[in-house]
Structure 1
Amino acid sequence: MPDRPESTDWRAALREKGYRLTPQRELILGAVDELGHATPDEVLAHVQQTVSTINASTVYRTLEVLEGLGLVRHAHLSDRAPTYHSTRGHVHFHLVCRGCGEVISVDEEEAAPFVAALATRGFVPDLGHLTVFGRCAACEGESS
């Protein structure tokens, strides 16, 4: 997935697809940028600090629109709601510690051997949705 377009590009992308640039869309995209990895409820709580009149359905619909435009992505980092993150910056996948809940973003280059092995099977993975669950070094050391 390419990096997120600069601010003027994402505004143009919205208009080209027939979407209006609303303050709510701008606030929700800004919240995803600021929070890093956030569920829709976390985005809602963040946005409500600025605009108390926004509701959960607006956040969910807007996240779907923004994902369709390639401005945000979602991953499943828990058994809860999907977690959204901005496409600005590096393409990455996630490691989630089952002990402490830490989420570690890993650059796609670190998965190159795995991606190459899958390519021999004729398969191209979508690393942006990949989440590997396990235990971080600190938590693994606690259980030893």
Structure 2
Amino acid sequence: MPETPGDWRAALRERGYRLTPQRELILAAVDELGHATPDEVLAKVQETASTVNASTVYRTLEVLEELGLVRHAHLSDRAPTYHSVRGHEHFHLICRTCEQVISVDSAEAAPFVEALSTRGFVPDLGHLTVFGRCAACEGACT
């Protein structure tokens, strides 16, 4: 998993991809936004490069995910949400009331992962999203 910009540049070249200004802008936008839909990434990129279009963003996000530089999760019933893998491996909790996104370190799911492994199953926690209510919203309802 690349940790520095030089590493992701090398990962692109090693896989036969050219390092383009658009790819650099899109990865930087994902890094800066934290969790973002392709449309949010496009809006961020267009602040700097108005010539980048939606199809470029979608294709580039697919390439970056293929290279292991970004991941996507389904945090709503809308488009997938992308985030950089340069931070910690995590899964998501989504409050259905206030729509807060809470990133949870994958290590916190160790008992769940262990239970699944006894069934011969290895989960991909980076795509896991759990919907419910956050403590603030749950407390407001009681």
Report the TM-score when normalising by structure 2.
0.98
Q: Write the distance in 2 (CA, Å) between the matches of 1:5 and 1:22.
A: 19
Q: Which residue of 2 aligns with 1:80?
A: 78
The one of 107, 125, 136 equivalent to 1:109 is 107
Q: Equivalent pairs: percent with the same residue?
A: 82
Q: Which residue of 1 aligns with 2:40?
A: 42
The Cα of 1:106 is off from its aligned counterpart by 0.2
Q: Please say if 1:5 is aligned against 2:3.
A: yes
Instruction: Give SS of 2:78's match.
Output: coil
Q: Which runs of 5+ in 1 are unaligned?
A: none
Q: Write the distance in 2 (CA, Å) between the matches of 1:5 and 1:90.
A: 10
Q: Deviations over 1:60-98 (max 9, x none)?
A: 000000000000000000000000000002100000000
**RMSD of aligned residue pairs (Cα, Å):** 0.8
Q: Which runs of 5+ in 2 are unaligned?
A: none
The Cα of 1:125 is off from its aligned counterpart by 0.3
The one of 67, 70, 86 equivalent to 2:68 is 70
Instruction: Give SS of 1:78's match.
Output: coil
Which runs of structure 1 show a deviation greater than 4 angstroms over 4 or more consecutive aligned residues?
Answer: none
Q: Which has the higher contact order (CA 8 A, sep 6+)?
A: 1
Q: Write the distance in 2 (CA, Å) between the matches of 1:94 and 1:45.
A: 24
Q: Please say if 1:131 is aligned against 2:123.
A: no
